[in-house]
Homo-oligomer: A and B are copies of this chain.
Amino acid sequence: MSHLRKSLYRVLETSAGKRRGISLAFNLLLITIITLNAIAIVLHTVPEYDRQFAVLFTDFEVFSVVFFTIEYIMRIWVCVENEKYSHWFWGRLHYIFSTSAIIDFLAIFPFYFTLFATDLAIVRILRLFRIFRLFRISRYSHAFRLIQNVVTEKKEELILSTMLVIFMLIIVSSVMYYVEHAAQPDQFSSIPATMWWGVTAMTTVGYGDIHPITPLGKLLGGITAILGIGLFALPTGILVSGFNEHIRDRKAPQRKVCPHCGKEI
């Protein structure tokens, strides 16, 4: 039993070792099923495809959930092989509340819930939860770990930038509301409504569904767009430099130092 658990652990977790071939095959299968799920979730909403392939979509849904459920239970069973979760009860409980196990759970739980749910509104919301199946791919991607690292490292600067953006958004939207409300009471109906304009102006999206028409509003709108470019340049610059540093580090893990000036060579 303990031997089977060890073997299964090696298959589920992609790590160098004996059963590497089987592990690779299993994980490729898992990535394929996740990708197919992504395609199914997206195409499922197109009425033509939904009508034509309704049975196929349902069958694949049931198959995916069964597959993911078996995998989820197995992962909980074998997780004790990992030193971090070695205790038979507390270790498994600890594992269940780890980020990746929660994602795995959210990928299957809505299906079972919808079997008993009668309220259509709740079923609709639960369907949205299927998107969590896509996040399962993060287990395999360096990209997500990279983002996590960059965000963790540049946390302080990003919070600072976000605060500035929110602060600026409130100020700009408040002033715009008082300037444009009289001219366009339907569009700039309240400060929260004006904030939608504020975001589209500061990010330079500019859908055109809401925009100032008074001369003063246009002046303020122009200044907002210019300010927005400057403001969003800040977090952008922070992220770009953060990513560049990490990518460089991964490519050149070892560095030599000049004995004369101590600079990296």
Contact A125 B236 (CB under 8 A): no
For the A-B complex with A157-B247, A205-B206, A233-B239 known, give 17 more contacts whose Cβ atoms are closer than 8 Å: A42-B173, A46-B189, A46-B193, A137-B167, A195-B222, A199-B222, A199-B225, A203-B222, A203-B229, A206-B206, A207-B207, A207-B211, A209-B211, A226-B232, A234-B240, A237-B243, A259-B261
Residue A65 is within 8 A (CB to CB) of chain B in the complex: no
Residue A47 is within 8 A (CB to CB) of chain B in the complex: yes
Contact A236 B233 (CB under 8 A): yes
Main secondary structure on A side of the interface with B: helix
Give the shortest distance, in Å, between A27 (CB) and chain B (any CB).
Answer: 17
Our pick among B44, B173, B226, B237 for the contact of A203 (Cβ within 8 Å) is B226
Would you list the 6 A-B pairs with minimal beta carbon distance, nearest first?
A258-B261, A237-B240, A199-B222, A205-B206, A208-B208, A203-B225
What class of interface size applies to chain A in its complex with B? 35 or more
Least CB separation from A121: chain B residue: B182
With A38-B170, A131-B174, A211-B207 already in contact, the answer to whether A234 and B230 are too (CB < 8 A) is no
